[in-house]
Amino acid sequence: MDSAAPKNRFTPKEFWAWISEVFDNYGILILAGLLLVYPFFFTTLNDSIIWLEDNDWETSAEILAEIRGFVPSTPLMIQILIYTLFGIAFNILLGNTGMLSLGHCAFFGVGGYTVGIMHAWIKPDTYAPDWMVSAFKVLPLEISLITCVIVSTFVAWLIGTICSSKRGVYFAMVTLSISMIFYYSAQTFDDLTGGTDGLGGLENMRLGSINLRVGIMDANITYYFVFFLSVVFIAIIWQILRSPFGHVLRAIRENEDRARICGYNVAKVRLMAFTMSGAISGVAGALAIIYGETVPIENIHFITSGQIVIITLFGGAGTFLGPAVGSFIYWYLRQLMSVEFVKYLAIFQYWEAWVGGIFVLIVLFVPSGILGTIRNMTLEYREKKYLAKQAAAEAAADPE
């Protein structure tokens, strides 16, 4: 319109604003699309290496194999997906309600043990009822997963009634101590849980309805199984957080006393949030044992709670997809250091220390996490742009 000042559409800032706009609106869809084709990508990469070798392109094959070391494998992506779901469920509390739980390993572990114990114990020659054997041969995964949802919801509700009335540090300490009880129980009842060796010998895990074997035999199928369930549960969380209830959560995070005097039953809302978070963490815990077909006791150990705190803060507790970013960075870095970097520098075998160091740096210098910082920069940029526009409009309206 103003021909004297032609618009340059592609200044870098415009470009970044456009990118973040697109990411804001379609980020979840883009991410889901990429994740949907990931196994194809990785399988193609593997196949190309084999093809190159078969056709005597030794050097190219070697180079590509070297590159593959830096590409997350499908099993690693399974792990990343699971911890994304776990982190987003955990963030119902941390990012949205303002409750830092240090006991989420209890739910992650209980979810895993529920499915694990059922598959380890309910076998055709032991407890599996006849109808199940004749219909599905083995215990179908649908039944163990539904049981897992019920059990983890109940456990989360039970723990929630004990600790969700606590605040701040007390809440963190109580959740931590309760999760310790779960860990020691898993250790003590080793007949049932396999104790410190982990629980193995799970009867092959099959989706009864479509007679599909998932587990260590096929990473791609397991990936899609995990992907599908993660997407479903992440979508559920997304809806919950945008619902009127989600707004109540954030009001409580911002000012609990004000929310209460506005008439909200804060104790009940906190308990609800805790139960949802714990129940879905239990589902993540169930998914986490499927590819490995064992339940390692570490899943119910405090270290798992620490991991999910780190992952969520890495990505940004104030954003919905922060835990996804955090999960990717955490597992990818861990893999790179302990498998690739360590080839060049032995010191990288202590990857925990490196990840811990990076964590400290992030907390110190980008306290809102990676996605949170990007979000803040974008908002700041938009605000500036908006103000400039307003100033221009005012100047135009008032020629003096």
Closer Cβ to other proteins, 71 or 240, answer by number: 240
Distance of CA 25 to the CA centre of its chain: 20
What is the per-residue binding string for other proteins in 242-271, x denoting contact by CB under 8 A? xxxx-xx-xx--xx-xxxxxxxxxx--x--
- CB of residue 272 to other proteins, shortest distance in Å: 7
- CB of residue 32 to other proteins, shortest distance in Å: 20
CB atoms within 10 A of CB 95: 27
- CB of residue 208 to other proteins, shortest distance in Å: 29
Closer Cβ to other proteins, 177 or 385, answer by number: 385
φ, ψ (nearest 5 deg) of residue 293: 55, 25
Applying CB under 8 A, among 239, 357, 388, 391 the residue interacting with other proteins is 239
CB 124 within 8 A of CB 299: no
- Answer yes or no whether residue 272 interacts with other proteins by CB under 8 A: yes
Closer Cβ to other proteins, 301 or 375, answer by number: 375
Residues 286-305 that bind other proteins (CB under 8 A): none
CB 93 within 8 A of CB 99: yes
Closer Cβ to other proteins, 44 or 243, answer by number: 243
Closer Cβ to other proteins, 143 or 240, answer by number: 240
Choose among 81, 90, 89: nearest CA to 309.
Answer: 90
Number of residues interacting with other proteins: please give it, by CB under 8 A: 24
Which amino acid, one-letter code, is at 350? Y
Q: Which residues contact 54 (CB under 8 A, 6 or more apart)?
A: none
Q: Which residues contact 120 (CB under 8 A, 6 or more apart)?
A: 194, 199, 200, 201, 202, 203
Closer Cβ to other proteins, 69 or 384, answer by number: 384
Structure token pair of residue 302: 């405090």
Would the CA dihedral through 223, 106, 165, 359 be positive or negative?
negative
- Answer yes or no whether residue 240 interacts with other proteins by CB under 8 A: yes
- CB of residue 270 to other proteins, shortest distance in Å: 12
- CB of residue 251 to other proteins, shortest distance in Å: 5
Region for 287 from its dihedrals, namely left if φ exceeds 0, alpha if ψ lies in -120 to 50, beta otherwise: alpha
Beta-bridge partner residues of 212: 207
φ, ψ (nearest 5 deg) of residue 207: -80, 110
Q: Which stretch binds other proteins (CB under 8 A): 46-54, 125-133, 234-242, 343-351?
A: 234-242
Closer Cβ to other proteins, 197 or 254, answer by number: 254
Closer Cβ to other proteins, 104 or 253, answer by number: 253
- CB of residue 235 to other proteins, shortest distance in Å: 12
- CB of residue 245 to other proteins, shortest distance in Å: 5
- What does the alpha-carbon distance between residue 159 and residue 19 come to, in Å, rounded to a whole number? 42
- CB of residue 375 to other proteins, shortest distance in Å: 14
Structure token pair of residue 150: 């019920």
Question: What does the binding site for other proteins look like in residue numbers (CB under 8 A)?
Answer: 239-240, 242-245, 247-248, 250-251, 254-255, 257-266, 269, 272
